[in-house]
Amino acid sequence: MLRIRLHEIFRSIIALSLVMLASQSGRAQDEDVVRIGVNLVQLNVGVTDRRGHPVTDLSPEEFVVYEDGVPQRIVSFEPTTTPFSLVLLLDVSGSTLNFRTTLKQAALRFIDALAPDDRVAVVAFNDHTKLLTNFTSDRKKIAWAIERAEGHGETMLYRALGYALELLAKEGKRRKAIVVMTDGLDTELRNLDRTAVADAQSEEEALARVKPEANALLKGVLDAIDHQGVTIYPLALASGDPRRLPITTPQIMAIYSAARARLQLLADRSGGRLHQINRLEDLGRLYAEVAADLRTLYSIAYQPSGDRPRDGSWRSIRVEIKRPDLIARTKQGYYAR
């Protein structure tokens, strides 16, 4: 009896050891997957011919990706028909009160122009950020959320972008984009810029004092864009255009120029496009252009070659198409943080 009991105990110990080894092995494999996945560089790439017409029927073999001039191995490729997860950011601060109805109508046209399987979250922002609907492909829910977008007050643009990026991080490996209509005059950053240029004596001095990219809030947004491979399309209102100010001082010119430069930086770093809204009547057309542009993007991921340290240095990116008559557009690069 004792011999049988000892034999059963021995078998139980062996079985338990095997389970623990399998668990540790699985956990180690999971950790390797996470470690490798973190280093992947995600790109959304638009391709056009010499006349600017989009080309949407390319294969992975026709793309060559360079990082700092060195060819990279493409590890994942998605065609232009792959659905997006998209955050529609609606500025409901006081600066949009006078044309709120036009804004909503244009946003509804934008939703109608998306692909059926695209998932959309609608977020309204002023001095607070409010999720009006989480990601869904139900057009009725999205339209209802747009109609609910109301508010006034200040403009916390970059905190809203940070919130949108947090939402997109939960969407896994789907293709991702943010479309935001704004004048770009973020309240927090504008206050910092105003302090920096307060005693500037000339426009040149004021412009030199403001470093549009030198801000922790903006850097956090740009780092998240790089990490997730999110493409951003800012639709810039004419009210924030420094060239169209009715009255200027060196301080005002510097503040508005920095705000517009940051919107351009968002587009350039993410591979998107900055659209200038010269007339409110153009808003619907520009939203439609963004929707059309999304349907022409390929998504590519590559693992940077070699054992280069992630030391925060800038890594330039260039994408070429093996057919010489085609031009590729994507983000300019990233900081290896």
pLDDT tens digits, one per residue of 48-101:
999 999 999 999 999 999 999 999 999 999 999 999 999 999 999 988 888 888
Query: In sequence order, which residues have a C-beta less than 8 Å from that of residue 143 and are 6 or more positions away?
Result: 108, 111
pLDDT tens digits, one per residue of 24-36:
434 333 322 222 3
**50: part of which helix (H) or strand (E)?**
none
pLDDT tier, 244 (very low <50, low <70, confident <90, very high otherwise): confident
pLDDT tier, 9 (very low <50, low <70, confident <90, very high otherwise): very low
**121: part of which helix (H) or strand (E)?**
strand 119-125
**pLDDT at residue 29, rounded to an integer:** 32
Please answer whether residues 189 and 259 qualify as being in contact, where contact means their C-beta atoms are separated by less than 8 angstroms. yes
CA gyration radius for the chain? 24
Length of the chain: 337
Number of helices and strands in the chain (H, E): 9, 14
pTM of the model: 0.84
The per-residue b/e assignment along 230-251, b for 16 or more CB within 10 angstroms, e otherwise, is bbbbbbbbebbbbeeeeeeebb
Closest of 20, 2, 45, 34 to residue 317, by C-alpha? 45
Pairing assessment for the beta strands 84-91 and 119-125 based on DSSP bridges = parallel
Instruction: Work out the mean pLDDT of the chain and round it to a whole number.
Output: 86
Indicate the fold that domain 84-294 takes in CATH: Rossmann fold (3.40.50)
Query: Taking residues 274-300, what's their average pLDDT?
Result: 90
> Higher model confidence: residue 138 or residue 240?
138
- Domain ranges for the chain: 41-79+301-335, 84-294
> Higher model confidence: residue 13 or residue 281?
281
Please answer whether residues 232 and 177 qualify as being in contact, where contact means their C-beta atoms are separated by less than 8 angstroms. yes
pLDDT tier, 38 (very low <50, low <70, confident <90, very high otherwise): low
Query: Taking residues 136-156, what's their average pLDDT?
Result: 94
Closest of 29, 37, 23 to residue 227, by C-alpha? 37
> Higher model confidence: residue 239 or residue 4?
239
**pLDDT at residue 98, rounded to an integer:** 85
Per DSSP, what are the bridge partners of residue 181? 90, 235
